[in-house]
Amino acid sequence: MKKLSILILVFGLLSLYSCKKDETKVVLSYFNAASITAPTSGSGFILTKEKKDSLMCTFTWTTANYNLTDIVPPTYVLEMDTMGGNFVKPRTLKSSQDLTFAIAVSSMNDIIVGPYGGEGDKLSTFQFRVRASLSDNNPATNNVSAVITLDITPYSSVVIVSPIYLLGAATSAGWDNKKALEMTHIGEAGEFAIVEHLKAGTDMFIKFIADLGAWAPQWGTDAAGTSEAGALVYRPTEAVPDPPAIPAPALEGDYRIVADTALMTYSIAWTSSELYLVGDGCDAGWTPANGIAFTKVSPGIFTLTTTLKAGGLKFLETTTGWAPQWGTDATGTSSDGPLVYRPTESVPDPSNIVSPGNGTYNISLNLATMKYTIKAK
């Protein structure tokens, strides 16, 4: 009888422990945000053309510490903005799990006199911060470092934008350097983009070249480069060994490929092969199943001629849900503007595109440049 009582007591205690354990909730938080350790906030840099190939500085930062173990290492995004810009539209200088980023004088100069419209020999103050994140689609895992400021004086230069070209076994051009595909300059100092249908396979790769019919200058990657992102490695002349080619994604499809020859980075992201128009500014209304199909002219280029009325518009990649979708931001108008992508329903909706009103219109989308236009027919 005593044995039975003891067993009942032990079972009861175990049950109570189990119930209490089930009620325990683990809340993700971080103990320390990343902290930029170099350069020192308030430092000044005077950039000169004579030292354009030299290192301006190396940004370094500490790790961000979260309260959980056995989680993926955070991704660190080094961001830059003008003084007073408050990082509403920051420029990403580096996005990786590294804790350091070195930038050349010429690269920083191109950014300042290009996208930021800086004047030669005129000092400007810029802000920098590091944003750590465990998931791009979950802002709750973000934490941000304290902001540092740097005073930078660029030199006078004209940013000459020459086209660069995409080729490789994964592309429609193959390895024929005379048929390489011209990429579009998308407004940043050295940033070029293209949407191309890439083949999949372990023997599928891509590279970038500067001149049709020549193998140098060219850009490949290093041993750490992946089918999603990585560093560009430059080959200025044919006397320099070829850098490794960039691997293609594991799945065949349309991809937006961006190469930044100033920051020496690249990215490859899956993008739409179908698009549908919805909204109360068109006949489809806000019902995805009634979406009006665009015509795909080429990878990343879509057109549609249809009647519109007053209201809002958006573009969907499927007629069965609300993501992926495309909208715009506060600068978008009823005639043109930037496209803003919503990859999943966990990401907030972008703003509606305002319809120009009653009439028949031609709508065009370019997913390489991330722009839309609406013109009366």
Which CATH number is 214's domain given? Answer: 2.60.40.3620
In a domain, 158, yes or no: no
Same-domain status, 261 and 331: no
CB-based contact 121:112 (threshold 8 Å): no
pTM over 0.85: no
- Secondary-structure percent of the chain, ordered helix, strand, coil, rounded to 5: 10, 40, 50
Whole-number pLDDT of residue 71: 65
Mean pLDDT score of the chain, rounded to an integer? 87
Q: Which residues pair with 266 in a beta bridge?
A: 230, 259
Over residues 83-130, the pLDDT tens digits come to: 999 998 888 888 888 899 999 898 899 889 877 888 999 999 999 999
For residue 232, the enclosing domain spans 165-270
Over residues 316-371, the pLDDT tens digits come to: 999 999 999 999 999 999 999 999 998 888 888 899 999 999 999 999 999 999 99
Same-domain status, 261 and 281: no
Same-domain status, 262 and 372: no
Token pair listed for 132: 């750590």
Mean pLDDT of all residues in 180-209 = 91
Same-domain status, 34 and 138: yes
* Poorest-pLDDT segment among 11-20, 48-57, 133-142: 11-20
Calculate Rg over the CA atoms of the chain. 25
Same-domain status, 72 and 119: yes
In a domain, 264, yes or no: yes
Same-domain status, 59 and 114: yes
pLDDT of 143 over the 70 cut: yes
pLDDT band at 291 (very low <50, low <70, confident <90, very high): very high
CB-based contact 181:206 (threshold 8 Å): no
In a domain, 283, yes or no: yes
Whole-number pLDDT of residue 373: 97
* Chosen domain end from 153, 184, 214: 153
Whole-number pLDDT of residue 68: 64
What percentage of the chain carries pLDDT values higher than 90?
Answer: 64
Pairing mode of beta strands 148-153, 44-46: parallel
CB-based contact 62:22 (threshold 8 Å): no
pLDDT of 305 over the 70 cut: yes
Over residues 245-258, the pLDDT tens digits come to: 999 999 999 999 99
Token pair listed for 308: 């519109």
Whole-number pLDDT of residue 21: 42
* Poorest-pLDDT segment among 28-42, 174-188, 216-230: 28-42
Same-domain status, 67 and 52: yes
At which residue do the structure tokens 């810029």 appear? 126
* Poorest-pLDDT segment among 152-161, 192-201, 226-235: 152-161
In a domain, 146, yes or no: yes
CB-based contact 183:166 (threshold 8 Å): yes
* Chosen domain end from 220, 246, 270: 270
| Biggest CA pair distance of the chain | 95
In a domain, 149, yes or no: yes
CB-based contact 267:216 (threshold 8 Å): no
Whole-number pLDDT of residue 88: 87
Q: What's the domain count of the chain?
A: 3
pLDDT band at 7 (very low <50, low <70, confident <90, very high): very low
pLDDT band at 237 (very low <50, low <70, confident <90, very high): confident
Q: 197 to each of 49, 137, 168, 301, 370, how far by Cα in Å? A: 40, 25, 12, 12, 17
Q: What is the CATH number of the domain that holds 68?
A: 2.60.40.10
In a domain, 21, yes or no: no
What percentage of the chain carries pLDDT values higher than 70?
Answer: 87
Give the alpha-carbon dihedral of 213, 219, 224, 227, to 10 degrees: -60
Same-domain status, 119 and 142: yes
Same-domain status, 131 and 170: no
Compute the half-sphere exposure of residue 324: CA atoms within 13 Å on the CB side of its CA.
Answer: 12
* Chosen domain end from 248, 270, 292: 270
- N- to C-terminal Cα distance for the chain? 93
Whole-number pLDDT of residue 73: 80
